[in-house]
Structure 1
Amino acid sequence: MNILLKSATIVDKTNSKLHLKKRDILILNGTIEEISTSIKPAGNIKTLKLKNLHVSAGWFDSSVSFGEPGYEERETIKNGITVAARSGYTDIVLNPNTYPLPDSSGAIVFLKNAAKEHPTKLHPLGTLTVLSEGNDLAELYDMQNSGAVGFYDFKRSIANSNLLKIALQYSQDFKGLVCSFPMDKQIMSKGIVNEGISSTRVGLKGIPALAEELQIARDLFILEYTGGCLHIPTISTGKSVRLIGEAKRKGLNISCSVAVHNLLFSDDVLDSFDSNYKVLPPLRTKKDISALIKGLKEGIIDFVTSDHTPIDIEEKRIEFDNAAYGTIGLENAFGILNELFDTETAVTLLSKGRERFGLSPVTIKKGSLANLTLFNPESEFIYTKKHCNSTSKNSMFFGEKMKGKIYGIIANNQIIV
């Protein structure tokens, strides 16, 4: 692939010489050949000039679900990867949320092979335990050797404290990343939304913030005892931020993420009884949202995820109590973050996280493989179903204003625009 990007504003805080500078970028055979104020095309080179074109290091999402294998009607790997590419992502971490679950090296190989020809790279997580049942550790070492970037029983908490201890101890030998969903099932009980004024008003059973915070406190105590690498996905409360901040100040090897919808919506939206607002962890209070945003600014929360979770219409268009958890969000993360923060911060948040999952960082410089996201940060529009390329349409973002247009990506010697 040979292409010349004309008049692209480079957004890269790690490179002061190029950051916010407008440059031409020449890419030959998938490698950045030249970056200059003006480059004249020569030979068989496609020139790409787009309105208010901005370029950054390719974006990364640490929590994405599709459906294949087992739930192809929700989202196939092929369509999901295409949606990710059109949303600006050059790398995604795929959750173990399929049937059968990826709890063996063969399952990891299948997922890697299913996505290897696409521009967006898919990095699968293996389950932490066999069948995600929380009883016995899965084939962690073999799965990592086959390409798994971490281990996670998706949206299932590790109830057995000793199992988490053993997982953290065992995985140190091969620098494996253990992921622990922050939810105490006993305290959660039959709750489905945030416990508070809104849950009382609408008559839905609540999940106390304590259910998340108690699990995190336990996990951090175990991590302090064992050592190892622990990642806590999608935290949602202010106290969770404080607990993780204290652990980081102690020097524990801990990271965490937040779902983009938990930065935008509070539990006030539950008055509509729209099941697209049913997510796990649940939407919390405005006070929690402020604490989460502050945690991002202070670097306590490491990165933002779309927590993209396609769900069949049959599992969403039913009573709120019985509806499945989850919302899609790949296409919305930038538009929301670009509204909540300035563009530089939004891009930084979307570019972070690779190293935590053992992946190489991305740089924009001569001689580097082109791994770029192309976008216009100023374009504004209202997100509707006509903008949704996912097979499933379970989005809580319909009707919301998005700031910024994604043109596409250049990665893996391919271009999607």
Structure 2
Amino acid sequence: MAKVLIKSVTISNKGSAHHGKVVDVLVSGGEIKKIGKVTEEVKTTINGKGMILSSGWVDMRAWLADPGLEHKEDLESSRLAAADGGFTHVTALPNNQPVTQTKNDVAYIKGGNAGSLVQLHPIAAVTLGAKGEDLTEMIDLHTAGAIAFSDGLKPIWHSDILLKSLQYLQKFDGLLIDRPEDIHLNMFGVMNEGVESTMLGMKGMPNLSEDLIIQRNLSILAYSGGRLHLTCLSTEKSVALIKEARKKGLNVTCDIASYQPLLDDSALEGFDTSFKVNPPLRIQADNKALIKGLQDGTIDVIVSNHIPHDEECKKLEFDLADFGITSLQTVASNLSALSEKVDMHLLIEKVTTNPRNLLGLDAATIEEGAEADLTLFDPNAKWKLNSSSNKSKSVNSPYFNQELKGKAIAVFNNGQASVSSI
């Protein structure tokens, strides 16, 4: 990797003695060579004024669709989109064809990591086929390199499976990830249940479908012990339940999708399927609770919830379209918008330190001599996600062709660097 000099950049890395300081940073050969005042002239120099340099961002929830559905996304396009979005590490949900449930499946996802800037970490399925019925061989999958366990896009609907999984994973301190949803309460639902769904004449998905499962999960966690991470929270009560559980000493963590507190169900008035997500966009009261959860630390992590789809799955009547947004490249813009209400350094922790701790990844401290696993982020950069800048194979984003504020300018990892053309 050629030398890259970042001038006058703000460090956001609590483990570093340089946290909060404005310094020059010289990166060369995959290593942080110097921090402070650097006078050396190098070919690639970035004016980092107003930018933030942190450890490389980590996404705890992305569906990469490979193997089996490569027309939506593949491992190569996923890495390109992730690097452009500021991520050096991405966890891959197991809902491929076949589902990630064998040692060979895990090896396939990890196979390209040695020569890649972006490291992909497979999340293995909890149940065979992610059907919620029979447990996978989780010890073998852990040994093979699975970083966590989840049925991914599908909730763990079977209470006994949840209990046995939490007990089983304690053998190696494994992390169980579940997206709380009562699939029966949400059956045929397409958006948040409320005033907007009534006005639009569409079947709603009630807050209860999330809140009820969180209550169940927390009760089972209290009974079984173990480590539980609840993903993609969306309701006010969800946040309150997690906060109360923490006071009782339960080992539970949680995340939200970066777009969730920024959009509400009024966005669906135009029947734009780009806004069709699960959990659905809720109301302002829920969004305010999510913001408060970010501020007070109840919400540990921010994820992309990247779910790419081809046009055949999205350009349909609203009730027939698939759920999901392609979002690896727009998390940075969402963080910029969220920073109007939440301290930016706190937001950065939720895509760096916190997910690294939960997944057992290296801390990536910003110090001289350390390996360069870094993300350079400009909260004020203006750009557009369009056909020329899009790195994903899919275009199902409500932000497509809009001017956005906030962009990852460069990423460094595994002896490699990628610098944005902006």
Q: What's the TM-score bracket when you normalise by the shorter of the two chains?
A: over 0.9
- Secondary structure of 1:346's counterpart equals helix
1:408 aligns with 2:406: no
Q: What does residue 157 of structure 1 align with?
A: 155
Taking only aligned residues, the RMSD between alpha carbons, in angstroms, comes to 1.7
CA contact (8 A) 2:12 2:52 kept: no
- Secondary structure of 1:173's counterpart equals coil
- Secondary structure of 1:356's counterpart equals helix
Q: CA deviation at 1:47?
A: 3.8
1:237 aligns with 2:235: yes
Q: CA deviation at 1:17?
A: 4.2
What is the identity percentage for the equivalent residue pairs of Structure 1 and Structure 2?
36
1:355 aligns with 2:367: no
Query: Which stretch has the larger CA shift, 219-228 or 133-142?
Result: 133-142
Distance 1:91 1:290, change over 3 A: same
Q: What does residue 371 of structure 2 align with?
A: 369
Letter in 2 for 1:214: L
Q: CA deviation at 1:177?
A: 0.9
Q: CA deviation at 1:398?
A: 2.5
> 1:146-200 CA deviation, whole Å, 9 max, x = no partner?
1111111122122221111111011101111111220011211221211100111
> 1:89-130 CA deviation, whole Å, 9 max, x = no partner?
111111112101111111001110034321011111000101
Partners of 2:184 and 2:37 lie apart in 1 by 60
> 1:351-373 CA deviation, whole Å, 9 max, x = no partner?
23111012121210012111111
Q: What does residue 346 of structure 2 align with?
A: 345
- Secondary structure of 1:49's counterpart equals strand
Q: What does residue 35 of structure 1 align with?
A: 35
Letter in 1 for 2:363: P
Q: What does residue 284 of structure 1 align with?
A: 282
Q: What does residue 19 of structure 1 align with?
A: 19
Q: TM-score, normalised by structure 1?
A: 0.95
Partners of 2:172 and 2:252 lie apart in 1 by 17
Partners of 1:219 and 1:51 lie apart in 2 by 44
CA contact (8 A) 1:155 1:280 kept: no
1:3 aligns with 2:3: yes
- Secondary structure of 2:149's counterpart equals coil
CA contact (8 A) 2:336 2:380 kept: no
Letter in 2 for 1:344: H
User: Paired residues, what number?
Assistant: 414
Query: Which stretch has the larger CA shift, 82-91 or 153-162?
Result: 153-162
Match of 2:165 among 164, 167, 187: 167
Partners of 1:15 and 1:224 lie apart in 2 by 32
Alignment of 1:208-223 (within 5 A): 208-223=206-221
Partners of 1:258 and 1:6 lie apart in 2 by 31
Partners of 1:360 and 1:323 lie apart in 2 by 39
Q: What does residue 204 of structure 2 align with?
A: 206
Partners of 1:91 and 1:387 lie apart in 2 by 21
Q: TM-score, normalised by structure 2?
A: 0.94
CA contact (8 A) 2:325 2:397 kept: yes
CA contact (8 A) 1:327 1:395 kept: yes
1:81 aligns with 2:79: yes
Query: Which stretch has the larger CA shift, 16-25 or 138-147?
Result: 16-25
Alignment of 1:15-414 (within 5 A): 17-41=17-41, 46-50=43-47, 52=49, 53-341=51-339, 342-351=343-352, 352-398=354-400, 400-414=402-416
Partners of 1:291 and 1:385 lie apart in 2 by 35
Letter in 1 for 2:31: T
- Secondary structure of 1:258's counterpart equals strand
